Amino acid sequence: MRLIVHNMLTCNIKGVVNKFPLRIEAEKVIKKDVDFNPDFLRHMLAKIEWKALVDGARSMGYTELPDHAPALESDEPFLKKFHHALLELNLEEGSLVCQETGRKFPVEKGVPNMLLHEDEV
């Protein structure tokens, strides 16, 4: 699972208000190179919840992201860091934790399982 997906994921347990973001408990992180595409990154900047990305990256061991996205989006050094955090860090094993309930959604072999139990729906 990469942070581009994590930035979208929510806890859908019935009644939960604080469903996003999920806290990452990383057990195994792998880095995989991805081609740098500044246009795509700029497109993503509008969607990304920045703090969730920064916290998620930190949980995966990457601390280079600034606390705020700079005003000059076209700044290439920034985009390179953004690119690395968003697309090149892979959570292979770990959990995504609901901040309100503590419920852990497992991530195994890079795949999160977000299915709820019967009593959570």
Partner 1 sequence: MRDVKVKANSKSTEEEEENEMSSSLSVKSTPEIEKKYVHRVYDAIAPHFSSTRFAKWPKVAAFLESLPSGSVVLDAGCGNGKYLGLNPSCFFIGCDISNPLIKICSDKGQEVLVADAVNLPYREEFGDAAISIAVLHHLSTENRRKSAIEELVRVVKPGGFVLITVWAAEQEDKSLLTKWTPLSPKYVEEWVGPGSPMNSPRVRNNPFFGLESIPETDVSAKEQKAETSPSFGLESIPETEESTREPKAESVPETQDSLGEQNDKSSVEVLLEALKMNQQEYFVPWHLPYHRAEVSGASASALASGLAKKDDRKGTVVYNRYYHVFSEGELERLASGVGNAMIVDRFYDKSNWCIVLQKEALNQD
Quick one: which of 30, 37, 76, 100 contacts partner 1 (CB under 8 A)?
37
Rounded least distance, CB 79 to partner 1, Å: 14
Site for partner 1, residues 10 to 29, rule: CB under 8 A = 10-12, 14, 19-20
Rg (CA), the chain: 15
Q: Looking at beta carbons only, is 10 or 101 nearer to partner 1?
A: 10
Site for partner 1, residues 46 to 75, rule: CB under 8 A = 47
Contacts for 57 with CB less than 8 Å, ≥ 6 apart: 3, 63, 64, 65, 85, 89
Q: According to the binding rule CB under 8 A, does residue 7 interact with partner 1?
A: yes
Rounded least distance, CB 86 to partner 1, Å: 10
Helices 76-83 and 38-45 pack at an angle, to 10 degrees, of 80
Find the part of the chain contacting partner 1 (CB under 8 A) among 23-31, 35-43, 57-65, 67-75.
Answer: 35-43
Three-state SS letters, 41-61: HHHHHCCCCHHHHHHHHHHCC
Contacts for 58 with CB less than 8 Å, ≥ 6 apart: none
Report the 10 Å Cβ neighbour count for 100: 13
Quick one: which of 2, 59, 84, 97 contacts partner 1 (CB under 8 A)?
2
Residues that bind partner 1 (CB under 8 A): 1-2, 4-5, 7-12, 14, 19-20, 37, 39-40, 43-44, 47, 109-116, 118, 121
